[in-house]
Structure 1
Amino acid sequence: MAEEKSLLREKVLSLRATLTQEERAEYSQRIRGYVTRTPEFLEASTIMLFLNFRDEFETTELAQQVLDSGKRLVLPRCAPKSVLMLSQIEDLEKDIEPGMWGIREPKKEGLIRVHPEEIDCILVPGAAFDMQGNRLGYGGGYYDRFFERVRDKTPKIALAFHCQIVDSIPVEVYDKKIDALITELGIMRFE
């Protein structure tokens, strides 16, 4: 199954890479608009987000919107053994540095640690998604392990481009589902 996942990941990411810079900017703006109008976002006081890497949905403006709205912004830092360490961010310029694989992460110095149970809404990255709420990550298992540490009712909302939706994702026992997926075409919710 690992090979099947790897091939699917490669296929979808190469498809995502064909989006032009203009398409990516326009779609990212639409996705941000959908996110900020969801009840999960509006009602949350502590929001966990990711900073985009390579050709993912652009999240920097969304992160700034979280800060500007007075909500608490939490970003993950990749630690050894596929563990996400959480830190509260107060300034996107001062509190961020390149981490593992060049992904922008909270600075190691001065981390303001946040416990997973404090999060009200998790905005999640991923490589591919299906309409059953299954998510294919980037292969490290960080988010699947992390989801085990949050409150059961904490909404897990993936943010991606519509081209990342596939018919079916191979699922293993440790794979965790998402509650919703937001693309430039709208919001899809899963039971």
Structure 2
Amino acid sequence: MSHDIDNTKRALRADLRERRQTLSQAQLEQAGQGVKAQLDALVERLGARSVSCFLATSTEPDTRPFVEGAVARGIRVLLPVTRADGLLDWAVAEKDGGITEGMFGLPEPTGELLGPIAVNDVDLMIIPAAAVDESGMRLGWGRGYFDKTIGSMERCPPVYAVIFDTELLPDVPREVHDQPVTGIVTPTRTLTFAANDR
């Protein structure tokens, strides 16, 4: 059974990745502007003073303008750094902070590493996703870093996944270790799932 789910996930991720690669630079820039506006409003609504976010890849809605704006407003932003043991480390985003290519070719900060438990103090987590379904179940990219992080937190803050509008699906395949999210942020809206309101 698990093998079937794994194959279904793999096929869905491949389809979603292919769709993202067909987006033009103009569409990606517009998506990034929309996501920044939605994230700014979400941070304001929640009164978040410390957040975790990720540095988007070239086919994701760009999160860097949001991160830069948040840092400029005095909000503490933690950025993830992948580790070989399957855990995420964290570094504080800084104005003009360096970015390097981390494991799996992902953009990551070059600052001082704070350890995996640093994320326990944030008011809001903003994470990547391939898709999210209407119940709030998230389909990640298959490495399990964020599922592991969310699943291990004693007091998990609200968790919002950034996706394109077309990536909110009726249903996504799920396994026992998969973690739901509180809501999604797309270029046009922010949606909170009532069942997962942490």
Q: Please, what TM-score do these two structures have when normalized by structure 1?
A: 0.91
Q: Runs of 5+ in structure 2 lacking a partner?
A: none
When the two chains are superposed, the root-mean-square deviation of aligned CA atoms in Å is: 1.8
1:57 aligns with 2:61: yes
Counterpart of 1:91 in structure 2 is: 95
Which of 41, 54, 71 lines up with 1:67 in the alignment?
71
Q: Which amino acid aligns with 2:6?
A: A
Q: Which amino acid aligns with 1:33?
A: A
Q: Please state how far the C-alpha of 1:92 moved relative to its aligned partner.
A: 4.0
Q: Please state how far the C-alpha of 1:153 moved relative to its aligned partner.
A: 4.5
Which of 133, 142, 166 lines up with 2:136 in the alignment?
133
Counterpart of 2:37 in structure 1 is: 33
Q: Please state how far the C-alpha of 1:91 moved relative to its aligned partner.
A: 3.1
Q: Runs of 5+ in structure 1 lacking a partner?
A: none
Q: Please state how far the C-alpha of 1:111 moved relative to its aligned partner.
A: 2.5
CA distance in 2, matches of 1:14, 1:149: 32
Query: For 1:85-124, what aligned pairs fall within 5 Å after superposition?
Result: 85-94=89-98, 96-107=99-110, 110-113=112-115, 115-124=118-127
Contact map agreement 2:89 2:113 (CA 8 A) in 1:
no
1:152 aligns with 2:184: no
Q: Which has the higher helix share?
A: 2
Task: For residues 148-182 of structure 1, give each alpha carbon's deviation from its aligned partner in whole angstroms, at most 9, with x where no partner exists.
Answer: 23343501011111122222101111110000101
1:162 aligns with 2:159: no
Q: Please state how far the C-alpha of 1:39 moved relative to its aligned partner.
A: 5.1
Provide closer, same or farther for how the CA distance between residues 79 and 153 of structure 1 changes in structure 2, counting only shifts above 3 A.
closer
CA distance in 2, matches of 1:26, 1:137: 23
Q: Please, what TM-score do these two structures have when normalized by structure 2?
A: 0.88
Counterpart of 2:81 in structure 1 is: 77
Provide closer, same or farther for how the CA distance between residues 39 and 88 of structure 1 changes in structure 2, counting only shifts above 3 A.
closer
Question: Secondary structure of 1:181's partner?
Answer: strand
CA distance in 1, matches of 2:154, 2:161: 17
Question: Secondary structure of 2:152's partner?
Answer: coil
% same residue:
26
Q: Which amino acid aligns with 2:107?
A: R
CA distance in 2, matches of 1:14, 1:52: 17
